[in-house]
Structure 1
Amino acid sequence: MKYRFPLITAHCGSMNTLDHTLHSVQTGLQFGADVLEEDVRVTKDGIPVLAHDDEWITVEGEKLSLSQTSFEELRELRFEVTQGELRETIQICRLEDMLPLIQASGKVVNLDLKVDESIETAVALVKKYGMLSQAFLSGCEIERAMLAQQLNPEIRKLLNTDHNLFRTLPYREAMVQTCEDALAASCFGINIHHSIVRQELMDYAASIDLPVYVWTVNEEEMMRTYVDLGVASITTRNVAGLVQLKQRMQ
């Protein structure tokens, strides 16, 4: 193993909980995650909420768009959500409802931004709670990363890999371009799907001091592979499995 054990990042909805809920966040913390990942969008009136998709369906079957609906309207609604074997009725959760949980835990939150409009509103809340040292942004390909740097240079951010680079260019060219983009946007590391990672990338990123964060790895054998490669963080829904692997390897 080349480096210390990677940070354990709980993917939203880890340990068979529903994505974008406070229960999911609390569960990740209880199982020992170092970092909690959540998706962020904004409502029509600019309130950051926990959501991957813009379109939701109410229990009455009404289809609506978060970006076209105020939070005051949303807070009166219930949504039927199916996720694997889970089927529950939930309300939309604000980012501001989650941040105090992270703040009190002393852990870190990974805010996976789904739209450019979420940059300023999410960072404003991070600042409000004095959590610049407990938060960073992801979901930022080069244009969003550059915009985040322009708007809020004090917030840390990862560069999300443009998978098309690796589909259309030779691996080394795509790897070098990704790292150059990360440096150009003042990102502290890169966020990449585990299937793209090779030793070549790890060695090159290490040579320019760019940590590599991988997502989403749920099987123990694969977790061990990326630990041995020296990644800085593994995002997983199987937090307990990664915690147990850490205990065994130490």
Structure 2
Amino acid sequence: MPLPATALPAVPRAVAHRGDPYRHRENTLPSLRSALAAGADAVEVDVRLTRDGVPVLLHDPTLRRLWGLERPLAALTLADLRRIEGPAAPLRVPTLAEALALVAAAPPTPAGRPPLLMVDLDDAGPAAAACAEAARCGAADRVVYCGPPSAMLAVRRHAPAAEVSLTWRTPLAPPPSLLADLRPHLLNLPFGLVTPVLVDRARGAGLQVSAWTVDVRRTMARVLRTGVVSLTSNRIGVLRALIDAAAAAGPPG
């Protein structure tokens, strides 16, 4: 099932990768705020579960890379995590609920739409909790999901109406049986695979294409010209300016 025509962006969706990571630590509330202030239509975040099942924003399975702690998240409760961080910690691992509240309070995007939170799931494990938290917070319509087949099939079970973007790492088309079961709205591809031919082929199958993760302005422009409806970048300000300039210039010719 393709994304409904009313939901298709008039201009490509500018997605901030883990917030605004060149300015603030990735997957933190300051990073999300910065990305929204820079004009992100959506902010992509990574979600994992604590030992007591609380969905939080963290890309890695451990706290080592970002927080300097040799502790696996899955071994810590949320209370453990808060004790480790300390009450005066200037930054911390936010909960999904905190991220949802921040996005819900943000002003409309440059396109005049409410900003979205794009929840990236590496596997099916956090899907039920993430979908339940979005529903509990009254934010199900502000959340879109991306990830591999197992994760997106789990999302489809727990949130049948959610926008789903199937992360796919090969130019070969997904099996028809997978597309029939998942009914993705978008095919989410590494930018190096995206060509006009592939985008046209996907549209012929009822799919739009999103691409990730582009940080070079010239490459952003090339990928946007292929017809993608969503592009993810660590440099959201650069991407926003490029999309706005292209929209102001109008179609070529």
State the TM-score bracket (shorter-chain normalisation).
0.7 to 0.9
> What's the counterpart of residue 55 of structure 2?
48
Change in 2 beyond 3 A, CA 1:230/1:178: farther
Change in 2 beyond 3 A, CA 1:124/1:214: same
1:68 paired to 2:75? yes
Q: Give the drift of 1:208.
A: 2.5
TM-score, structure 2 normalization: 0.83
Q: Is the 8 A contact 2:123 2:150 kept in 1?
A: no
Q: Is the 8 A contact 1:12 1:24 kept in 2?
A: yes
> What's the counterpart of residue 232 of structure 1?
229
1:8 paired to 2:44? no
- Which of 31, 34, 46 is matched with 2:41 structurally? 34
Q: Give the drift of 1:13.
A: 4.1
Q: Structure 1: which amino acid aligns with 2:128?
A: E
1:132 paired to 2:160? no
Q: Structure 1: which amino acid aligns with 2:71?
A: L
CA distance in 2, matches of 1:200, 1:131: 36
Q: Which runs of 4+ in 1 moved over 6 A?
A: 58-61
Deviations 1:142-166 (A, max 9, x none): 22222222233232211110x3xx3
CA distance in 2, matches of 1:9, 1:184: 26
Identity %: 24
Matches within 5 A, 1:187-206: 187-206=184-203
Between stretches 55-64 and 116-125, larger displacement belongs to 55-64
Deviations 1:198-221 (A, max 9, x none): 222101111232111100111111
CA distance in 2, matches of 1:59, 1:242: 25
Q: Is the 8 A contact 1:220 1:242 kept in 2?
A: yes
Deviations 1:43-102 (A, max 9, x none): 0100000001111139996511111111111111139xxxxxxxx974221111111111
- Which of 210, 214, 217 is matched with 1:213 structurally? 210
> What's the counterpart of residue 157 of structure 1?
164
Which structure has more strand as a fraction of its residues? 1
Deviations 1:108-159 (A, max 9, x none): 11000134221111111111222222111112x2222222222332322111
User: Which ranges of structure 2 fall in alignment gaps of 5 or more residues?
Assistant: 1-8, 107-113, 249-253
> What's the counterpart of residue 97 of structure 1?
98
> What's the counterpart of residue 85 of structure 1?
none
TM-score, structure 1 normalization: 0.83
